[in-house]
Structure 1
Amino acid sequence: MRAAAFLYPWDVVGDPRAPAHLAELGLHQVTLAAAYHSTRALTQRHPRHRIVTARHSAVLYPPDPDRWAGRALRPYAQDWVADPDPFDTAARALTAAGLEVHSWVVLAHNSRLGADHPTLVVRNAYGDRYPWAPCIARPEVRDYLVRLAAEAAVRPGARGVELESCGWYGLAHLHGHDKLAGVGLGGAAEYLMSLCCCPVCLAGYAELGLAEGEVPAAVRRALEPVWAGAVPPDGGGRAGEWAAVEELLGPETAGAVRAWRDRAAGALQRAVVHAVRDAAARAAVDGFRVLLHADPAPHRCGANAGVDPAAVLACADGVVVPCTGGAAARAAALGPFAPRPAGTTVAANLTVVAGMGGSPGTLAADAAHAAALGANELRLYHAGLAGAADLAAVRGALRALNRSAGGRAQGSGAESAPPT
């Protein structure tokens, strides 16, 4: 299987050894951050630093001033990497080491944008704003995200893009000093806390037959027992989770809300893919691939945005699917994408940082299981964050997988088969 690992430009910029070290792992591709959210990252192998603090969402290249002239919403520049174009510097070095580079673009997850433009973010049924989650139903937000995707995706040297948070974001967020664990919400109640009740979304619900104020009132009624200590229904699994949403909200209200949200997410995803492909065509990049980080349950929010599997594979070149969490979780995540058009990619995303819940020691077995479920590529999170022991396990697993693939190719009579 073709294997790629995620990486930040600061893992490479200033470290001349990094590209060769990554190539020696047996990777075919690096998915390199071009537009990313705030983070604090350990860089344990870098010769000049150990911690990088990206204070806010930013692009890791110089944005085109003409593209953004006169626009209220525009990408923020970074100043934590001492390089005018960290993406380009890193991409050139990685390409020289024989690694194909694809850009990694985070879209509807941007706390600074929400702080600067508080009227444009998701607002829950209680009126609380989520500054990390721009409301994708708003035309100005959608326009910003489409423009950002086109610019950040098609950077010099990139052969494709992987789009994260290309859909609804909600309550769940890796926030600093989070204090949300006092009540166990479960997936269904978390979904209700993620529903946007801003004026644009309320108008959208009304278009689908819901009276003004009906959605926030229904959410508050459904959640009142939860705040009083009742355990909310959850159902288990994606289908059971949605059944619990219908139980909490009522099937008619739940259906109308989901129809509005599906419409907004689908419109954004189609517009983003179209804009990226147009940008790649203008840049004369043949074979530029557009993949979305995706969850096969359309109602889910977050970095792996909920999608309709058939619709997204008819639009994009493929998906990157979260597959950490064991065999059952992998089957549930990959199964809905199994009947797919020829030539599309279903990449199994596996965490290989043991300290972040990953299992680098079982990578070969996990990859084989993902392949049996229909995955045809691997994504490994994250080559820069992984420790020495994690990377040693990755190296061994990828060598074993490549030997296995080579043996199958010889057994079939093929002279040699490139990774698929």
Structure 2
Amino acid sequence: MRTAAFLYPWDVVGDPEAAQRLAGLGIRQVTLASAYHSTRALTPRHPRHRIVTARHSAVLYPPDPAHWAGRELRPRVQDWMPGPDPFGEAARALAGAGLEVHSWVVLAHNSRLGADHPSSVVRNAYGDPYPWAPCIARPEVHDHLVALAAEAAARPGARGTELESCGWYGMAHLHAHDKIGGVPLSGAAQYLMSLCFCPVCRRGYAELGLEAEELRTAVVRALEPLWAGAADPVGADGRAGEWPAVEALLGADRAAVARTWRDGAADGLRRAAVAAVRAAATGEFRVLLHADPAAHRCGPNPGVDPAGVFGYADGVVVPCGGGAAARADALTPFAAAPGAAGAAVAANLTVVSGMGGSPGTLAADAAHAASLGATELRLYHAGLASEADLAAVRTALAGPARARR
């Protein structure tokens, strides 16, 4: 199995031993961030720092002014790392250690874009903006994300890319001092809180035969008992139970219109982004999507219809936390989908024990993922992991039951 680890440029830049250390894990590829959201990250082994604070969403390379000329929305450039091109500097070091570099591009998750352009974001049924979630149905957002995908993916030294958040983002978001957990929300309720009612989406619902105010009222009516403390009446979680729960809350006809509008916007973005990356790249260049097989889901791994995705993308990266049952739930629909033969179905396994990962069971988890149809592994995250976690990874990848490169 091809095995890759996620990494930030700041894990490498300024650490002359980082590239060789990573190569010693037994991985073949590094998926290196080139456009990323705001974060605060630990760097346990770096000789110069322990905490990196990326204050806002940014590109980690020098953007081409000509590429962005005349565009309403433009990416911000990072200023928390030395040098104009930390992605390029890290990519060269990693390639020098024999590792294949692929870019890691975060698209529709951008709080700085929302702060700079408040009209560009998702607005829920109560009118609240989600500054971290650009509304992908808006033409200016669609065009920005496609342009960003093309530039951030096809960086010099990259031999492929993985596009994260290439679809709808919603309510769920790790925010500074988050205080939204007081009322537990099922997956269905999270979906209702993620529906967008910006002017563009309101027109979209109406064009499909449903007045936006009717849909908005239905959402508010369905959610109101939860704010009062009532138990979620249809609180089924898991991919199989969420959509029937949404239909029960909204009514099947309203739910179908909302999904048709949102699926169309997401599918259009994905296809356009992949096509733009292919046009910008040279030579063999793989384009993978971070994806969930439940098409209605939002977030960094947005819902993708398994039946069609391999017709335009080279593969998917699928989150595989939560144990064996959840892993099967996530991988099987993609592995069994039309066109899966020859495509990449990468199981994303967390190997940072402090973030809930299980590096000690990596060999068994990889074998189980392979039995479900996974063809590749992704390890999250080589830069964040402790030395003990990395030692467990090295043992798993070098052992007799290893997930082979």
The CA deviation at 1:214 is: 1.1
**Aligned positions of 1:87-106 closer than 5 A:** 87-106=87-106
Task: Report the equivalent of 1:206.
Answer: 206
> Do the aligned partners of residues 270 and 148 (structure 1) sit closer, same or farther apart at CA in structure 2, a change above 3 Å counting?
same
Q: Is the 8 A contact 1:323 1:330 kept in 2?
A: yes
CA distance in 1 between counterparts of 2:70 and 2:157 reads 29
The CA deviation at 1:402 is: 6.9
Task: Report the equivalent of 2:66.
Answer: 66
The CA deviation at 1:404 is: 7.4
Task: Report the equivalent of 1:414.
Answer: none
CA distance in 1 between counterparts of 2:21 and 2:126 reads 50
- Note if 1:253 corresponds to 2:254: yes
> Do the aligned partners of residues 43 and 56 (structure 1) sit closer, same or farther apart at CA in structure 2, a change above 3 Å counting?
same
Q: Is the 8 A contact 2:293 2:305 kept in 1?
A: yes
- CA deviation string 1:300-322 (max 9, x = no partner): 00000111012112110000000
Amino acid corresponding to residue 345 of structure 1 in structure 2: A
2:324 to 313, 323, 327: 327
Task: Report the equivalent of 1:289.
Answer: 286
Task: Report the equivalent of 1:305.
Answer: 302
CA distance in 2 between counterparts of 1:72 and 1:128 reads 23
**Aligned positions of 1:171-250 closer than 5 A:** 171-232=171-232, 233-250=234-251
- Aligned structure 1 segments of 4 or more residues deviating by more than 3 angstroms: 401-405
Amino acid corresponding to residue 152 of structure 1 in structure 2: A
TM-score (norm 2): 0.98
The CA deviation at 1:84 is: 1.0
TM-score (norm 1): 0.94
Task: Report the equivalent of 2:121.
Answer: 121
The CA deviation at 1:403 is: 5.7
Task: Report the equivalent of 1:409.
Answer: none
Runs (5+) with no aligned partner, structure 1: 406-418
Moved more, 59-68 or 395-404: 395-404
> Do the aligned partners of residues 403 and 199 (structure 1) sit closer, same or farther apart at CA in structure 2, a change above 3 Å counting?
closer
CA distance in 2 between counterparts of 1:94 and 1:375 reads 25
- CA deviation string 1:169-197 (max 9, x = no partner): 00000101000111011101010000001
- CA deviation string 1:152-185 (max 9, x = no partner): 0000010000000000000000101000111011
- Note if 1:385 corresponds to 2:384: yes
The CA deviation at 1:364 is: 0.3
Q: Is the 8 A contact 2:25 2:394 kept in 1?
A: yes
CA distance in 1 between counterparts of 2:241 and 2:122 reads 25
Q: Is the 8 A contact 1:296 1:336 kept in 2?
A: yes
The CA deviation at 1:234 is: 2.2
Identity of aligned pairs, percent?
Answer: 75
Amino acid corresponding to residue 193 of structure 1 in structure 2: M
Amino acid corresponding to residue 6 of structure 2 in structure 1: F
> Do the aligned partners of residues 86 and 237 (structure 1) sit closer, same or farther apart at CA in structure 2, a change above 3 Å counting?
same
Runs (5+) with no aligned partner, structure 2: none
Task: Report the equivalent of 1:169.
Answer: 169
> Do the aligned partners of residues 167 and 395 (structure 1) sit closer, same or farther apart at CA in structure 2, a change above 3 Å counting?
same
- Note if 1:353 corresponds to 2:346: no
> Do the aligned partners of residues 310 and 70 (structure 1) sit closer, same or farther apart at CA in structure 2, a change above 3 Å counting?
same
CA distance in 2 between counterparts of 1:172 and 1:224 reads 19
